[in-house]
A and B are shown apart, each in its own frame.
Chain A
Amino acid sequence: MPQRHGVRRGFEVGQGALLYFTITLLLLALAELSRASLLYWAFGVMIGVLAVSLLLSWLMLRGLRVHRLAPVVAVAGEPLMLRYSIANPHRWLPVFGLVIQETWGRGQSGWRQSGPIAESPARLGGRPQGWVLHIGAGETIQAEAVCVPRRRGELAFETIIVSTSFPFGIIRGRLTVRQEASVLVYPRLLRMKKAVLTRVTTAQPRGGRHTDRSGGHEDFFGLRDYRPGDSLKSVHWRSAAHTGRLVTREMTRPSPPEVMIALDLRRDGDAADADSLAVENAISLAASLVCDAHNHGCRVGLTVLGAAGHTYPLHHGLPHRGRILEALASLPSARGGEGGEPASRVRGESPATTPPVPAGETPNAARHPSPVGEDADPLSPKGRGGKRRTAEPNVIVVAHGPCDPHPQQTPRDLRRAVVLDAAQLDEFAVATPGGAEALLRGRVAFPGKYHRAGAREGDR
């Protein structure tokens, strides 16, 4: 395993050990003073306990192999389960009471001053800890440690400390394994109120729900020559009679509702840092909308106003949703942070003051570059490949404050968009513990179901 290179061993002595040493010395003093032989025995037992503690804590950790099985992504505010595979190579010696702990700073003396806990604001509330009660000789076991990321972004793990104070808790043997990994933390995901998406999708000015592609069973699309395999029911007999050859009738495909989300991060240059929470709320709201729309079968797209390069056209699919969430997770924080841009630079609209974020700057964006160029109109009805669409997408503008569109800076289509103010988050979303997992794993609804259900349930 790879951790053999960065393995260090050591021992820790805690407060319990100090108490133990005190009692041992007290026993020795009493034995010397009273000459009671049983006290010498007791002192010998204490020494034996100490020796066994030292020996076992060293032996049990010898050759132990630890491997972190971290997930690729996590959600801010939701428990992140880190898994560890621990193998006990001994033939006869079991391992008891293992504590697994994450730490940062290359395991050196200054490790307390770095890492996601030491950041401001902290990315994690504390070091993830897990424990294993017992690993039999020659067994491999999986342990879990839970942490809750507080912020979106990339969460880096550096070092694993495996320790045990078995059998007596006096001396803690420690094994430090350097093993780097990173987890991309999505923005906080909220459960959207149904009224939000209903309001957007039912406000579409045109009633069409059809694509400009054939292959469906909705409306008439056109005629073409018969191909073997076509159903006889689809033969347009009148045309066939006219032309003398079989002609097949093509119908349009149904088109799911489309939601284009515009995340408006533009702000005046003198905005205070206090707005960072609102910015994060807006990002969180946008991410939640993306997931909600995806789960309801909508084609969803995203454009970030104020951060050039983050534009994702309308599409439906898990990879597409993942790319959008990754982009949102990788957005620089308002305060600026690890690898992030200061908020004041992100908010500006002018290219001179707000340099575009190159698509390849973040690792996730590099893996999934934006399919639309920077110059493309994010709200253009052109779909992938530049085909014409039959309907304009519904547009939701997520702003991190009272929306005050400027004619010079706001695209024309935004004027008819539904605007969600992230400052009034409670009106649109409900934070539920564990809700993110349901959102990410939610089944995709039938495209039409949402509207029927939305019409029935309304603003419930």
Chain B
Amino acid sequence: MNPDPLFRRMAYVLVFMGIVVFCAADRNPALLLIAGSLLALSWYVVDGPAGRPLPNWAINLGTIASTGWLIAELAARPMQYLGPMGHFITCLLVVVFYGRKTNREYGIVMVLSLLQVVGACMLSDSILSGVLLALYGLLMLFTVLLFQLKATGDQVRGANLAVSPGGAPEVRPPFGRGCRGDLRLGGAAIGAMIAVAAACVFLFMPRGLFIRPGSPFNMPPLSARSGFVGSIRLDGLAPDSGDREVLMHVRFSVAGAPATLPPGGWLLRGTGLDQYDPGLRTWTRSRRANMADNIIPLGGAGGVLAAGVPPSPALEADVTMRSCTHQCLYAPFPAQWVWAEGQGAVIYGGIDRGVRLIEPWGGVLHYRVRAPLEAGPATRNDPVPRAVMQPGPNATSGPIFETLSQAYAQGWQVSAEPIRNYARRLLRDKGVSRDTADAPTPRDAVLAEALADHLRAHYRYTPAAAAPGRARSGEPISSFLFESREGHCELFASGLAAMARSLGMTARLVSGYRVYEYNRVGGYYVVRPEHAHAWVEVYCGEGGWVTVDPTPPDISGDAQRDGGWLAWLGDVYEHVEYAWFSSVIAYDDHARDGVIETAKTSAQLAATVWMQGTMGSVTRYVEERVSNIFADGFNLAATGLITVALVMGVAGLVRILFVRRRRLSALQLGRMPLPQRRGLTRRLGFYLMMLDILEQHGHIRPPWQSPFAFAQKLVTADPVTFAPVPSITEMFYEVRFGGRATDPQRARWVDTQLDNLRHALMRRRAGRH
């Protein structure tokens, strides 16, 4: 066995796999295509039959070019270092593979590839990355094993050569029987041991052992296209709608029972934007709103944000944010109570009722919010349930609130007169009116709904921006209301807010997400960046803030996917990904404590069962475990199913390897090169069939016995029954060692012989009985 050529092939595959992992995480198929092609070409150029490595100056030039690209990319994309580093490593790997490769270069290549994959781990948390990462780990394991053997041999050879340059004979390393098989089995065992050790470290290692959350050493969150914006800019460009990557998993429940989806979906509030800057054409959060912020400490049982809420069924949202890119905590209504994992306190907006984290939080965040749900049937014109809440003891309340809210979200200066006239005309058409000096009353909600009805009925929703020329020529809101009459949700919300505020109402924009995509397998809602949305909240005095969504409801027409098995498969895939995410990606100290507690409980329970040792206890234990599983929900069951599937897959793989090894041993092909082995295994299948037939009747050839000796033994024992065996064995020798091809005629002959043997053996068995 010579590990050198095998290692070189494995190194190519490993590097290619590393590039695949990175490109999958970076979502960069172009880079994968280019780098993969160049890597494949390098095999022909360098390691091909007439291959020759490129000169050193060319390699150095490539390295310099890669470095230049890295610098340029870092300059162009500040604060984004993982992508450029991955690109740089990819280039470097490709360049290195065109040069002369000693063990040192191979070591560098493997370390670079590992770093690249580490970067990919930080870039993506999808299950695809996890699967690719597992494959990469497997490849890396066997590559490192071969590299270690190769490097040891090269080191000894080098030492011997240095001792006696040109004088010492080449010493071939001895190896025992079954070297390849031992290496495969040993590699598998080593991989299993490493996996167990890694799982133990992963499960029981406390997070934040050295760097506590919230410390200044924490990395800033990676930028991602979440679709959510902290301010809305109406500059004529289409809003960044993000992509389809899952951003949040949300479970809504009312009094412990799953909440039904309202017709228009749930609206997850993000930030309330009350100030419009005509110069920048941007909606932002005003300084007045910032002044009303309160820091609410959170204990283990969460923190109460507001009080004075009439007792009503509480809607609870259990949110798992896969990538917390903003400080905002989304809630279906103005939250009354919040609990966030790993957070000691949150910021609560006294006026706009928004909840935010104190520090940016990178990565997974799990939190729960609870809000009072106002009962009442939802109508088509009122797709979103209303929530009413007064300022509570922890919020800015009383006189301060009144002071702060005096000029909060009021007034409109941009094209105020045309917009007011337009709004008045619209209200007049509906038979209602409002004076600008009127105080906020619950009637304002009706008026706002009337205006929103008009927008929904006569304006067209389009996700693209208005024509840039038109949008840039004038004020975007006026242009939307009077000229284009089409736009995206931000323009709809801005138009309604402008009309409402021009009529003297208190109105603000709210940015967040519209949630309507339900996973039927997992029983939760999925929020994606493309679900980002904006709507309006109108202050109605005693009625509180009322949500009004002027965007035409047809955008949420795809609230549910079409049925069918494809949709079901999509749900299953997403749920598997969710299980992966919740059990691996979102694993943290809280989950670790749970695992430890579960382990303790299980151990105690098992000890109890063991001590009692009665069947009833076992039954109770099983029942308890099963009930726990069902109580824990589908996640645990899905995880169990995945585990069982994985175990079965591994068992199947082991069985395939075992059968393959047995076949190779039976055909004496163990030391043959792989390409020849494949062809011969196929051509010598008839001999394996003969062995199987004989084995079924209790005639097993021991490994130490040659086929010829085995045939002789059988024929000597029973010449009639085993008459076909010598001829088949002879043909085996002709094909195996004589290189004879098998034609159809001989194949038919072999089939006949095998049939004869089978029938003879059956007759023999029948005769015995």
Contacts and interface: CB of A to CB of B under 8 A. Distances in A.
Interface string A32-45: 11111111111111
Given A47-B198, A99-B152, A124 B163 contact: yes
Nearest to B591: A37
Given A39-B118, A125-B162, A165-B152, A34 B219 contact: yes
A45 B176 contact: no
A400 to B, nearest CB: 25
Interface in A22-57: 23, 27-30, 32-45, 47-49, 51-52, 55-56
B149 A33 contact: no
A142 B198 contact: no
* Chain B interface residue number, banded: 35 or more
Contacts of B196: 48
B198 A48 contact: yes
B249 to A, nearest CB: 16
Interface in B152-191: 152-153, 155-156, 159-160, 162-164, 166-169, 171, 173-179, 182-183, 186-187, 190
Contacts of A126: 159, 162-163
Nearest to B25: A38
B62 to A, nearest CB: 24
Interface string A134-166: 111101011111111000000000000000011
Contacts of A131: 152-153, 156, 173
Q: Which of B121, B187, B209 has the most CB of A within 10 A?
A: B121
Contacts of A127: 159, 163
Interface residues of A, number: 66
A168 B222 CA distance: 34
Interface string A257-294: 00000000000000000000000000000000000000
Interface in B423-459: none
Contact of B179 (A38, A134, A433): A134
Interface stretch (B122-130, B594-602, B715-723): B122-130
Contact of A35 (B111, B166, B363): B363
Interface in A109-127: 124-127
Given A37-B586, A167-B144, A168-B148, A47 B201 contact: yes
Contact of A99 (B147, B156, B193, B362): B156
A130 interface: yes
Nearest to A53: B190
A132 interface: yes
B117 to A, nearest CB: 8
B667 interface: no
B669 interface: no
A32 B210 CA distance: 7
The prevalent SS among residues of A at the interface is mixed
A165 B153 contact: no
A207 B469 CA distance: 126
B106 to A, nearest CB: 12
B489 interface: no
B149 A41 contact: no
Contacts of B211: 29, 32-33
Contacts of B147: 169
B122 A49 contact: no
A133 interface: yes
B148 A165 contact: yes
B208 A144 contact: no
Given A35-B362, A41-B584, A56 B190 contact: yes
A390 interface: no
B233 to A, nearest CB: 30
A42 B118 CA distance: 8
Contact of A38 (B133, B160, B168): B133
18 contacts: A23-B111, A36-B363, A40-B205, A42-B117, A42-B121, A47-B201, A48-B196, A52-B193, A88-B176, A96-B183, A126-B163, A132-B174, A133-B153, A136-B177, A142-B174, A144-B174, A146-B163, A146-B168
Interface of A: 16, 19, 23, 27-30, 32-45, 47-49, 51-52, 55-56, 77-79, 81, 88, 94, 96-97, 99, 124-137, 139, 141-148, 165-169, 433
A147 to B, nearest CB: 6
B14 to A, nearest CB: 14
A38 B129 contact: yes
Nearest to A28: B210
B296 interface: no
B262 interface: no
B636 interface: no
Interface string B524-565: 000000000000000000000000000000000000000000
A232 to B, nearest CB: 58
Q: Which 9 A-B pairs have the closest CB atoms?
A: A48-B197, A44-B201, A44-B198, A38-B121, A136-B176, A126-B163, A48-B194, A148-B164, A133-B175
Nearest to A49: B194
A97 B198 contact: no
A437 to B, nearest CB: 11
A307 to B, nearest CB: 30
A38 B197 CA distance: 15
Given A133-B153, A148-B164, A48 B202 contact: no
A35 B177 CA distance: 47
B148 A169 contact: yes
B122 A30 contact: yes
Nearest to B204: A44
Q: Which of A77, A88, A136 has the most CB of B within 10 A?
A: A136
A97 B111 contact: no
A416 to B, nearest CB: 40
Contacts of A137: 182
Given A45-B137, A433-B166, 12 more contacts: A41-B121, A41-B198, A48-B195, A56-B190, A94-B182, A96-B149, A133-B1, A135-B175, A136-B182, A148-B167, A166-B149, A169-B151
Contacts of B419: none
Interface string B697-718: 0000000000000000000000
Contacts of B152: 97, 99, 131, 165-166, 169
Nearest to B213: A35
Given A129-B160, A167-B144, A36 B125 contact: yes
A51 B144 contact: no
B217 interface: yes
B449 to A, nearest CB: 44
A81 B137 CA distance: 41
B735 interface: no
Contacts of B168: 79, 146-148
Contact of A134 (B117, B169, B175): B175
A96 B164 contact: no
Contacts of A81: 169
Nearest to B198: A44
Nearest to A142: B174
B105 to A, nearest CB: 15
A48 B201 contact: yes
A148 to B, nearest CB: 4
B207 interface: yes
A34 B651 CA distance: 36
Contacts of B114: 23
B199 interface: yes
B59 interface: no
B694 interface: no
A143 B222 CA distance: 55
A167 B145 contact: yes
